[in-house]
Chains A and B, each alone.
Chain A
Amino acid sequence: MLVDKRRLPLWLLTAALVWFLVGFILHPALSTLMVSLAPDADASAAPGLARYLAFFSSANGLSALWNSVVLGLLTVIACGVTGTALAFFVHYFEFPFRGVVDKILLLPVMMPGIIIVFAFVQLYGESGLVTKTVQTWLGLNGAPWDFAGLPGILFVHTYTQYVYFYIAVSLGIRHIDGSVVESARCLGASRLKVFTSVILPFLTPALITSATVTFMTGIGSFTAPSIIGGPYKVLTTQILLAKANNYMGVAAVQVVVLTVISLIFFAVLRCYERGRIFAAQVKGTPMRPVPIHNPLARYAARSAAWCLVAMVVLPFAAIILLSFVDSASWMVNIYPRHFFLDNFEAVFTRARKFRPFLNSVNMSLLVALGCLLVAVPASFLIEKTRMKLRWLIEFLVILPWAMPASAIAVNLINANSRPNVFVCNAILLGSYFLLPLGYFIKSLPIVVKIVHVSFQNLSTTLLEASASLGASRFQTLRGVALPMLSPGLLAGFLLVFIHSVGEYTVSAFLYTASNKPMSIAMVNAIFEYEIGLSMAYGTLLLVLTGALGAVVGLVRRDALIRGEG
């Protein structure tokens, strides 16, 4: 009886979580599936797969599907080559300021995609600063390249997503046991043989994981295709088009197809990760970076490093520079000549311009808090209990990771366009809350992952030590669990905030007049030729995400120093 009483709160917590997660993640996904299977109101097609047949027999549909898959594959190749080469360059060779270059190469992962797209447009677009400079230098009549379409999207994807490969391969290189490499050399292997027979097999899991994640991100990408895609149509942009024209059935089919592709890759990734749960358990000596002795090669390496830094930093510098530009004056010149503070003044003094900034901050705070409220009990149940429904909770919280952002948005629209039993029969479509709900679902897997790691690092013996010293459960929670978990909770909170504050895809589908976020305001400003204003929003986002990213870094470093990480 005693045991049952003690487990009752756990059962209640599990039931509440399952209800919530089914209501806001599974039910919306199933709603979209049902919409995709429902017959057209004005068509004679039988219920069932009619919409799918129509999709797969339509040239437009197939073209968008093909383009999405091609984009995903090319993104993997471009990011794989770039990220892996950069990781080897930074971690395999010894050159000055390696640490600084390493940190700078991580920058793109922290910045909202919408900012990077706009920065690239301002730099490499038809009237971009770099484009015009090269055109002038070469004396060309037109732009030396066409930034629109697949090459442009791929360029943006490479810049924003090489980091997946870079981080994974860097970690892999750092964990290679140097003595294994040395023993291979002692056994007569050449440098090339060591690379192919020792280093590459060790990095294969990291490469496969990165490739899968990059492919999933690539096919679900919306920001770059919608802004610079031009004639290159992909499924995500077609979904928005169908939704805008109120063809929700068509959008549902496209969402299901996109989700299924993503889920297949997600499932393959999970299976692969489970099958590869091995690590070098024996303590080894870390591999030392190889010094470059040839002076010419050393000079080349140093130059390459600074070029890399410049390339990564350039978009950020462009955004900050252009945020001080008088848009009207720049229209007639190649390079901006007049700078002022009016763009920032407009954001902070005009309510209409300030509102998107405030909306984004408010919604992001709300979402970060909500994510923690769900992630903490979910991670606790998954990691620290043996509840039977743990697997369901784990599946539901991780499921949105396999869903493209546009799919999450359409799912929410389909589930909340009529009375929804999970929100007391309310209709959330058109309300303030649907957009933050979309952010919430998109960010939940990230924060669960971080909080879960914190729970894994929360040693049970520490809790037992506290109890053996006479502390009650509440005292143990306050005195041991919270201090141990707090770095992870804070990091999770800040990361969700960063991810939400500049989010564009979900925003494009779900924003209303009451919650127009900064990313939408940026796009609107661009289309209204208020480039300076748009970049001022971008700069604010950069400052916010940069400052919070630095806090995350400090928190994590502190946790690592204390041996919790």
Chain B
Amino acid sequence: MDEVVLRGVTRTFGSTTACAEVDLSVARGELFTFLGPSGCGKTTILRLIAGFLTPQSGSILLGGRDITRLPPEKREVGMVFQNYALFPYLTVARNVEYGLRVRGGNTATRRSTVARYLDLVGLAGFEDRRIDELSGGEQQRVALARSLAVEPRVLLLDEPLSNLDARLRDHTREELRNLQRELGITTIFVTHDQHEALTMSDSIAVFDRGQVVQTGTPVEIYGRPRNGFVAGFVGDTNLIEAVWRDGLAVTPGGQTVRAEHPGPGRYVAVRPQDVRLSPLDTPASPDDDNMFEGGVQDVQLNGVCIEYRVRVGDTVLRAAALNTAAGSFAPRPGDRVRVSFAARAVMVLEG
């Protein structure tokens, strides 16, 4: 059952089209992520769902009800803003209580609801604190509790982790995901961080220049990107322009690449972790459908992985190997190496 449906939604600002003919469906209870670079229209879509903007055309449905023209306060949509938008003159408890107060109801019920949600986000005991006494992570949790306390049908999260430092972001991401699963609330999450999108989401919509380029599960988006933009934006990729001759992709440098499912397609792409480096005298393995000789240009330690840049003809390929304690082949800049990858690792993509 789809909770949120967008049909042909278009919104322009003057001569700039923020989103054009967007069609989307968000299933009930899932965490759906809008992923894309800055200015791609993802926040505009979020604001259209929240009711802060009205589309020029198209419709937005929530639980089957058309809410396109409803004001924000009547939409049953909760939103956590990028800067949290907490009311600085109210205490933590009063912030969380705000939405409940505007709905009326008795004080005792409101207080118990506030206590419940503050407990849920790990802020029990913070009721009387002022907002300026909280850390960024605590403010983020207050904003979350405030949005959840009114029990909206859909929770909208507008890059809520972007103001947190790296460690706290990892921790909060996990907490947010667990909370969403626990409450089963339909959640739309906006981010430009592919790592966040891949680790948190049930489904992802990748946006580019106001349009949805691809929708799918994280595994689908990462494993089968629809085009070069998605492949480049979601995860690292070696994207190589190619022309097709006799079922083989030919790169501008003249190398031929074998793909399991040959073209047509403007690009061939290989993930760095699928590119294997080995000494030149190593015997070929059955997976080495594509083999080249290259020169190592650069080596970067990236914690879990070691990343290599290897020049093969005119093309620079990136390869990634696990940085294991056991050790493995570790070439150094200037070394000549064999570069190989399997035909099934090669993705054929449109522009």
Contacts and interface: CB of A to CB of B under 8 A. Distances in A.
A329 interface: no
B98 A464 contact: no
Given A470-B73, A470-B150, A562-B132, A464 B87 contact: no
Given A2-B69, A563-B132, A468 B79 contact: yes
B81 interface: yes
A471 B71 CA distance: 10
A484 to B, nearest CB: 7
Contacts of B75: 468
A464 B75 CA distance: 13
Name the prevailing secondary structure of the A interface residues: helix
Size band of the interface chain A makes with B:
20 to 34
Interface in A527-565: 561-564
Interface string B74-86: 1101110101011
B218 interface: no
Contact of B89 (A465, A468, A472, A484): A484
Contacts of A459: 83, 85
Contacts of A479: 98, 101-102
B98 A469 contact: yes
A465 B102 contact: no
Nearest to A480: B87
B263 interface: no
Contacts of A467: 51-52, 71-73
Interface string A462-496: 10111111111001000110011000000000000
Contacts of A333: none
Contacts of A294: none
A461 interface: yes
Interface in B92-121: 98-99, 101-103
B52 A469 contact: no
- Chain B interface size range: 20 to 34
A558 to B, nearest CB: 9
A2 B54 CA distance: 11
A563 B83 CA distance: 13
A207 B74 CA distance: 52
B51 A462 contact: no
B147 interface: yes
Nearest to A2: B69
B83 A461 contact: yes
A483 B89 CA distance: 7
A471 B75 CA distance: 11
Contacts of B98: 466, 469, 471, 479
Contacts of A466: 98, 102
A391 B277 CA distance: 66
A461, A462, A464, A465: most-surrounded residue (chain B CB, <10 A):
A465
A539 B86 CA distance: 44
- The winner among B52, B131, B147, B150 for most chain A CB atoms within 10 A is B52
B303 interface: no
B221 interface: no
Nearest to A478: B102
A561 B89 CA distance: 10
Contact of B52 (A462, A464, A470, A480): A464
B131 to A, nearest CB: 8
B50 A470 contact: no
A462 to B, nearest CB: 5
A464 B99 contact: no
Contact of A468 (B77, B103, B132): B77
Contacts of B87: 462, 465, 480, 483
Interface of A: 2, 459, 461-462, 464-472, 475, 479-480, 483-484, 561-564
Instruction: Give the 4 A-B CB pairs with smallest separation, nearest first.
Output: A469-B99, A465-B85, A467-B72, A461-B85
Interface of B: 50-52, 69, 71-75, 77-79, 81, 83, 85-89, 98-99, 101-103, 130-132, 146-147, 150, 156
29 contacts: A2-B69, A461-B83, A461-B85, A462-B87, A464-B50, A464-B72, A464-B79, A465-B81, A465-B85, A465-B87, A467-B73, A468-B51, A468-B72, A468-B79, A469-B73, A469-B98, A469-B102, A471-B98, A471-B99, A472-B102, A475-B102, A479-B101, A479-B102, A483-B89, A561-B132, A562-B130, A563-B88, A563-B132, A564-B88
